[in-house]
Amino acid sequence: MSGFILSEFGHFGLRMDIAHQWLLLVPSWLTEGRTSIFAPKATPAQLVFGLSMFVLAIAAAIFLATGGILAYVLIRYRRRATDSEHEPPQIYGSNQIELSWTVIPIIIIVVLFLTTARVIFNTEYATKPDAALDVVVIGHQFWWEFRYPKLGIVTANELHIPVSDPQHPTPTYLEMSSADTDHSFWVPQLAGKTDVIPNRVNVMWIDPQSPGLYLGQCAQYCGTQHAKMLLRVYAQSPNDFDAWVAEQRQPAKASTVDGQAVFLRNACINCHTIAGTIAKGRFGPDLTHLAGRDTIASGAVQNTPENLRKWIDNPDRMKPGCLMPAMHLNDRDLTAVVFYLTTLR
């Protein structure tokens, strides 16, 4: 069995080459999408891609053969006006023929199954390198919480991870659970999805090999705003990632703007945390470094002051059914809070 187990990351050798060759067969409109499952950018997705090409090839062959014979039969044996009224010879069966088309599919299935089993074990039994990054993922209705226990960081919706060099792998291990209903973590270019379930911890790993932004979203219906529980995974070079970590570990800078006072005296603090202040709510996303994020509302809209204002005034307008209530702040308070939040780098 040792040959079956992937003992080192990035050790594909032959398989990588084959995967790249398969990519040439797939039309570009299937691979250009930013969330295409046929545009793998990390090992788990690549393993799946290789298997999927193999399965597709077999399925295509079966379809052409069987469909071809079926089409032939329907055309060749159709009734023509010149046909006599006699019934054709009645054939009730044939043991040899029936045996052959039982045995051949069994052989195909065995081959398919062994290939499948190998990929299952390679993905699920991969050994975790020491240099792996641990992230705890908690699914909420309708946002993602990311905690880096060994780095002391808490953030939301936008996951920053280092790229992984195949020579010295630094994959990210995600330990996932849910605070409420079932969710599913799906970033197609990085890996297949894994469900995020309350009272259960599921582990998956990703190792993007080139820097970039990888998109995804929740893939298990979790309630009204399931559709806008988006994922953004920022794979960064080691330097960039370290810089990001350093920034995230800082508490919010002390601020004297009005907005902070508004924030702290309103119900905001019941749900949100801003490190370094009295706001320690856990129901909603951590806002300590909100201004550093590209999006708000779990990736639904760009993080601009206008959008922030609209969101705080009435989240239900942008994301109907989300669990943040409208804050009903007056104009002055609203402007102040928005300004304050834009300072939270």
Partner 1 sequence: MADSIPLTGPIDLTSTPKARPLTLEVLHAWVTTVDHKKIGLMYIGYALVFLVIAGLEAIVMRLQLAVPENSLVSPQVFNRMFTMHGTTMVFFVGMPILFGFGNYVIPLMLGARDMAFPRLNAFSFWIAAFGGLLLYFSFLGGDGLYGAGTAPDVGWFAYAPLTAKIFSPGHSTDYWTLGILLSGIGSIGTALNIVTTIICMRCPGMKLSRMPLLVWLYFVTCCMVFVAVSPLTAAQIMLLIDRYLGGHFFDTQAGGSAVLWMHFFWIFGHPEVYILVLPAFGFANEIIPVFARKAIFGYPAMVAASVAIGFISLSVWAHHMFTVGLGPGANTFVALATMIIAVPTGIKIFNWIATLWGGNIRFTVPMLFCAAFLFQFLIAGLTGIMLGAAPFDWQLSGSYFVVAHFHYVLVGAIVFTLFAAFYYWYPKMSGRLMNETLGKWHFWLFLIGFHLTFDFMHIPGILGMPRRVYTYQLDRGWGIWNLIVSIGVIFQVLGVGCFVCNLLRSYFKGAVAGPDPWDAWTLEWSTDSPPPVYNFAAIPSVQSRRPLWDLKHPEDPDSKYEL
Which has the closest alpha carbon to 219: 197, 250, 243, 252? 197
Residues in 71-130 that interact with partner 1 by CB under 8 A: 73-74, 77-79, 83, 87-94, 97-98, 101-102, 105-106, 109, 112-113, 115-117, 119-121, 123-125
Shortest distance (Å) from residue 167 CB to partner 1: 25
Lookup: tokens for 274: 């801003």
Range in contact with partner 1 (rule: CB under 8 A) among 10-18, 146-154, 199-207, 306-314: 199-207
Residue numbers 24-63 binding partner 1 by CB under 8 A: 30, 32-38, 45, 47-48, 51-52, 55-56, 59, 62-63
Residue 289 and residue 330: Cα distance in Å, rounded? 25
Taking the least distance from each CB to partner 1, the nearer of 66 and 270 is 66
CA 230 to chain centre: 9
Task: For the CB of residue 259, give the shortest distance to partner 1 in the complex, in Å.
Answer: 30
> Does 200 sit near partner 1 (CB under 8 A)?
yes
Contact positions with partner 1 (CB under 8 A) in 136-195: 141, 180-182, 184, 186, 188, 191-195
Q: Is residue 231 at the binding interface for partner 1, with CB under 8 A as the rule? A: no
**Considering beta carbons, is residue 102 or 256 the nearer one to partner 1?**
102
The nearer residue to partner 1, 165 or 182, going by C-beta atoms, is 182
Token readout for 145 is 């919480």
Shortest distance in whole angstroms from residue 263 CB to partner 1 = 26
Any contact of residue 303 with partner 1 (CB under 8 A)?
no
Listing DSSP states for 97-160 in one string gives: HHHHHHHHHHHHHHHHHHHHHHHHHHHHTPPPPTTPEEEEEEEETTEEEEEETTTTEEEESEEE
Enumerate residues 6+ apart whose C-beta is below 8 A from 269. Answer: 263, 277, 278, 279, 280, 281
How many residues touch partner 1 (CB under 8 A)?
89
Closer residue to partner 1 in complex, CB, 113/283: 113
Picking from 160, 144, 124, the residue whose alpha carbon sits closest to that of residue 298 is 144
CB count within 10 Å of CB 324 equals 20
Coil, strand or helix at 238: helix
Q: Is the dihedral of CA 189, 192, 196, 200 positive or negative?
A: negative
**Residue of the chain from 217, 248, 277, 298 that contacts partner 1 (CB under 8 A):** 217
Q: Is 213 in the site for partner 1 (CB under 8 A)?
A: no
Q: How far is the CB of 225 from partner 1 (least distance, A)?
A: 6
- The single-letter code of the amino acid at 156 is A
Alpha carbons 259 and 332: distance in angstroms, whole number:
9
Name the one range near partner 1 by CB under 8 A: 147-155, 222-230, 266-274, 325-333.
Answer: 222-230
131 binds partner 1 (CB under 8 A): no
Least separation in angstroms between CB 71 and partner 1:
8
Q: Which helix (H) or strand (E) element contains residue 240? A: helix 238-249
